[in-house]
Structure 1
Amino acid sequence: MERTVQQVEVDGGVAVGLDGSPSSLRALDVAAHEAELRSAVLHVVRAWSMRTAPRPADCPPGAVPSMDAYQRSVDESAERIVRDRLGAEPRIPVQRHIAHSPSPQALLSASRGADLLVVGHRGRGGFAGLLLGSVAEQCVRHAACPVLVVRPAI
């Protein structure tokens, strides 16, 4: 497990934002397909804060988990989601990037080295009436690589 980072650095491949929402799960599926078509690495980017991180299971009630404990919990959660969606032995190389930072910052930093950035149209936050989530909109406006915004399955 790596140290806590705020920026995500990738060298080519397909990056995808993952927050566990249905939209991000669909984005993960699409990004995996794109990575397979390109014979590229799939970079799974999970940004977190204390507010959005799953509480470590081994932390007693009333105690505040350490940053390292939160980081491990987020990484374990992302690993479980990737395994559930892509299988224990994915057909493509997968790298997880866990960043203690706002989602747009982590995704935009990943976009500087990625060939493609894939995001869901709506994540966990915001207002349901928006056509495009604020994170997706920021990625579309500011990413350094092409961005694919994944809509829900019809």
Structure 2
Amino acid sequence: MPDQTIQQVEIDGGVVVGVDSSASSLRALLVAAEEARRRNTALHVVRAWSFRTAPRPADCPPNVVPSLDQFQQTVVEDTERIVSKKLGDHADLPVQIHVVHSPSPQALLSASKGADLLVVGHRGRGGFAGLMLGSVAEQCVRHAACPVLVVRPNV
């Protein structure tokens, strides 16, 4: 069951992956799932969102601003759909989804405090195309409390 009300992600062991629906994060999800299987541990999928990055609730009229709860539920559903599509049934792998209304670096760095490994895509939905690492990945590499694996998408 997703954690729906926390602002930080607190875990106790396992592999953490940041997901934002970008090609890099979807590849990172697959790599993180394989790492979790190898280590025989849980996979923690972290999705941080803001009003700018959250998908708009489908049932909300165009001239109405959705509530925080509506956005949260839409992001939870979108993340569950992404995980199901990329990992299938994943009965062999315990997966926990953490959806947080928070900047991505803070959510991932808080999760890293209890993680065995943090996996991130090299560049997510924002940023500049020419950067070697996205700003989130760079902050994770510099400040995470556990080892970090940066994954590039298949090109």
**TM-score, normalised relative to structure 2:** 0.96
- CA offsets 1:38-64 (integer angstroms, 9 cap, x no match): 010000000000110000111111111
Question: Secondary structure of the residue that 1:15 maps to in structure 2?
Answer: strand
Residues of 1 paired with 2:97 and 2:62: CA distance?
Answer: 29
* Equivalence for 2:94: 93
* Equivalence for 2:51: 50
Residues of 1 paired with 2:83 and 2:66: CA distance?
Answer: 24
* Equivalence for 2:85: 84
- Alpha-carbon RMSD across the aligned residues, in angstroms, is 1.1
**TM-score, normalised relative to structure 1:** 0.97
AA matched with 2:87: L
The answer to whether residue 39 in structure 2 is matched with residue 34 in structure 1 is no
AA matched with 2:92: R
Native 8 Å contact 2:9 2:110 kept in 1: yes
Measure how far apart 1:103 and its partner are.
0.2
Question: Secondary structure of the residue that 2:110 maps to in structure 1?
Answer: helix
Native 8 Å contact 2:4 2:99 kept in 1: no
Q: 1:122 to 1:72 in 2, by over 3 A?
A: same
AA matched with 1:23: S
Residues of 2 paired with 1:45 and 1:27: CA distance?
Answer: 12
Structure 2 unaligned segments of length 5 or more: list them: none
Question: Secondary structure of the residue that 1:83 maps to in structure 2?
Answer: helix
Measure how far apart 1:6 and its partner are.
1.4
Residues of 2 paired with 1:67 and 1:133: CA distance?
Answer: 27
Native 8 Å contact 2:123 2:134 kept in 1: yes
Residues of 2 paired with 1:133 and 1:145: CA distance?
Answer: 19
AA matched with 1:47: A
* Equivalence for 1:13: 14
Question: Secondary structure of the residue that 1:125 maps to in structure 2?
Answer: coil
Provide the aligned length of Structure 1 versus Structure 2. 154
How many percent identity over aligned positions?
A: 73
AA matched with 1:55: R
Question: Secondary structure of the residue that 2:138 maps to in structure 1?
Answer: helix
